[in-house]
């Protein structure tokens, strides 16, 4: 066990790193963050901010010397960086356990190797793969870059082979997957913590509503048949076991209108759809990540209350694209007794940028959802 006041390293300075740092500091740990941005959400909270690129050798050297364990807040850290850090200290999760999630082609092959289902898809590495890729699927399709996509970025909807060809060029003729666009009943996610010794524990399943490819709202408990939420938790555990994963892992699932459970993608980290755990569970996903990487006992994942979480994007700032956007009206939100507001300390609001979120607790999710929607409209 790595006990406080040990120093924990974090690669990445976004809001996920910020909540991790807050939770680690409240348990008496010291946190060092590597992040190139001088004013990032996590660096504001860390004991020490090493302002450098994620692959800056000097910075990494400093980090691996000072930290008992190093973790990350996003999946796109090059494996070579994690391997370099792992020569001298613990890195959790390991490079090997996150590499599948860095590439949609590998990720889908991995999901299938676990005996689980994905949407029908084809692989397009070069334009000569396009004709074969569309054989097994039906239009409309979504063309997605294999690497580096998030919040719906790097995705183009296509309705025929010509649009696939154009889309492939627009995306830079880099490896892609072409996914059949499935008719979704809903989406859910499982977040679990897994320890080095192999035990894992899931948080309650969240039901997720997206807008324009970005998470808008999470509802917990999910209003989905128990056999599906249980199957999702079993599937997530199976994948975590196969990866020999240590830390917190999130898995996004689709539920089709025919009632099939498909794995959408894996995020080898804490996840936006787990933000509800900050206010509605005994242990937050961030504290669980800390517990897993330090090999402490599991924190309880018990849900204390039904909850609805809504993301606050820069879009709700007035005149967001102007030189001086004005703050939303926080009055109603701050006056609502069952509501908790979290802002990430980002100085500049932009369209599509995640600025904060809020959670509404209530005796059932229906009431929480109504209240959350009213509060969101008033921003
Ligand atoms: P990201 O990595 O940006 O989160 P996702 O692949 O999870 O990308 O896509 C974002 C959202 O877009 C999904 O949560 C879902 O709402 C929608 N979406 C993505 N792929 C499909 C698909 N094949 N069929 C239907 N909806 C999809
Ligand atoms: Mg996603």
Ligand closest to Cα of 142 equals 1
Tell me which residue has its CA closest to atom 15 in ligand 1.
213
Q: Please check the confidence at residue 136 and state whether its pLDDT lies above 90.
A: no
- Three-class SS of residue 134? coil
CA of 152 to the centre of ligand 1 (A): 7
Nearest ligand, CA 75: 1
* Gap from CA of 144 to ligand 2 centroid (Å): 11
Q: Which mutation among 159, 211, 254 tests ligand 1's pocket best, with the greatest number of atoms within 8 A of CB?
A: 254
Nearest CA to ligand 1 atom 10: 213
**CA-proximal residue: ligand 1, atom 24 (nearest):** 181
Pinpoint the alpha helices (H) of 171-276.
226-243
What band does 334 get if pLDDT is binned at 50, 70 and 90?
very high
Span 53-112, pLDDT tens digits: 999 999 999 999 999 999 999 888 999 999 999 999 999 999 999 999 999 999 999 999
Q: Residues 6 or more apart from 158 whose CB is under 8 A from it?
A: 139, 140, 141, 142, 143, 164, 167, 178
pLDDT higher than threshold 80 for residue 152: no
Q: Please state the atom number of ligand 1 nearest to the C-alpha of residue 152.
A: 3
What is the pairing mode between strands 141-145 and 121-124?
unpaired
- 238-266 pLDDT, tens digit per residue, is 999 999 999 999 999 999 999 999 999 99
Work out which ligand 1 atom sits closest to the CA atom of 154: 3
Cβ of 89: how many Cβ atoms within 10 Å? Answer: 16
Q: At what angle do helices 57-66 and 79-86 cross, to 10 degrees?
A: 40
Please name the residue whose Cα sits nearest to atom 17 of ligand 1.
213
User: What separation in Å is there between the alpha carbon of 271 and the centre of ligand 2?
Assistant: 10
Task: Provide the pLDDT confidence category of residue 141 given band limits of 50, 70 and 90.
Answer: very high
63's CB contacts (< 8 A; 6+ apart) are 9, 32, 34, 50, 70, 85
Index of the ligand 1 atom closest to the CA of residue 184: 25
| pLDDT score for 150 | 80
Angle value at C-alpha 201, between 199 and 206, nearest 5 degrees = 155
Q: What is the mean pLDDT of the chain?
A: 96
Packed helices 104-113 and 226-243: angle between N→C axes, nearest 10 degrees: 110
User: Whose Cα sits closest to atom 21 in ligand 1?
Assistant: 181
User: Considering Cα of 65, then 68, then 73, then 78, what sign does the dihedral take?
Assistant: positive
At residue 323 the predicted structure's pLDDT band, cuts being 50, 70 and 90, is confident
216-235 pLDDT, tens digit each: 999 999 999 999 999 999 99
Q: Ligand 1 pocket by C-beta < 6 Å: which residues?
A: 119, 142, 149-152, 179, 181-182, 184, 187, 210, 213, 252, 264-265
pLDDT attached to residue 30: 98
**Band of the pLDDT at 153, cuts 50, 70, 90?**
confident
Residue 224: the pLDDT is: 97
217 to 10, 208, 279, 357, 365: CA distances (angstroms): 27, 6, 15, 9, 12
Q: Whose CA is nearest to atom 23 of ligand 1?
A: 181
Question: In 3D, which of 292, 206, 283 has the Cα closest to residue 244?
Answer: 292
Q: pTM of the prediction?
A: 0.96
For 279-308, what is each residue's pLDDT tens digit? 999 999 999 999 999 999 999 999 999 999
What distance in Å separates the CA atoms of residue 97 and residue 92, rounded to the nearest whole number? 9
**pLDDT higher than threshold 80 for residue 161:** yes
Under 8 Å between Cβ of 9 and 63: yes
């Amino acid at each position: 066990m790595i006990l406080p006041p040990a120093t924990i390293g974090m690669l990445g300075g976004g809001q996920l790193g910020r909540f991790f740092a807050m939770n680690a500091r409240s348990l008496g740990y010291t946190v060092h963050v590597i992040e190139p941005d001088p004013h990032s959400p996590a660096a504001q909270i860390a004991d020490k901010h090493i302002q450098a690129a994620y692959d800056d050798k000097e910075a990494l050297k400093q980090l691996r010397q000072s930290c008992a364990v190093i973790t990350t807040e996003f999946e796109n850290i090059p494996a070579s960086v994690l391997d370099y850090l792992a020569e001298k200290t613990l890195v959790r999760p390991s490079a090997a356990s996150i590499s599948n999630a860095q590439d949609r082609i590998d990720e889908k092959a991995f999901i299938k190797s676990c005996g689980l289902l994905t949407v029908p898809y084809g692989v397009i590495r070069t334009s000569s793969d396009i004709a074969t890729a569309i054989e097994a699927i039906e239009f409309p399709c979504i063309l997605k870059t294999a690497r580096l996509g998030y919040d719906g970025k790097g995705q183009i909807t296509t309705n025929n082979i010509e649009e696939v060809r154009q889309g492939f060029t627009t995306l830079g003729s880099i490896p892609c997957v072409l996914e059949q666009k499935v008719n979704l009943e809903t989406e859910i996610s499982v977040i679990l913590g897994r320890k080095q010794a192999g035990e894992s524990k899931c948080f309650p399943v969240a039901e997720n509503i997206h807008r324009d490819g970005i998470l808008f709202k999470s509802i917990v408990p999910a209003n989905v048949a128990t056999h599906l939420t249980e199957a999702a938790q079993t599937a997530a555990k199976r994948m975590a076991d196969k990866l020999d994963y240590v830390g917190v892992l999130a898995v996004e699932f689709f539920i089709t209108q025919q009632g099939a459970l498909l794995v959408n993608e894996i995020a080898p980290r804490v996840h936006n759809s787990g933000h509800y755990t900050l206010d509605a569970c005994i242990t937050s996903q961030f504290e669980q990540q800390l517990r897993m990487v330090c090999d402490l006992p599991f924190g309880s994942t018990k849900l204390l209350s039904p909850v609805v979480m809504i993301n606050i994007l820069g879009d709700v700032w007035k005149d967001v694209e102007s030189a001086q956007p004005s703050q939303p009206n926080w009055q109603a939100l701050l006056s609502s007794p069952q509501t908790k507001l979290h802002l990430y300390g980002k100085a500049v609001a932009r369209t599509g940028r995640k600025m904060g979120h809020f959670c509404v607790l209530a005796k059932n999710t229906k009431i929480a959802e109504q209240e959350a929607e009213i509060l969101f409209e008033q921003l």
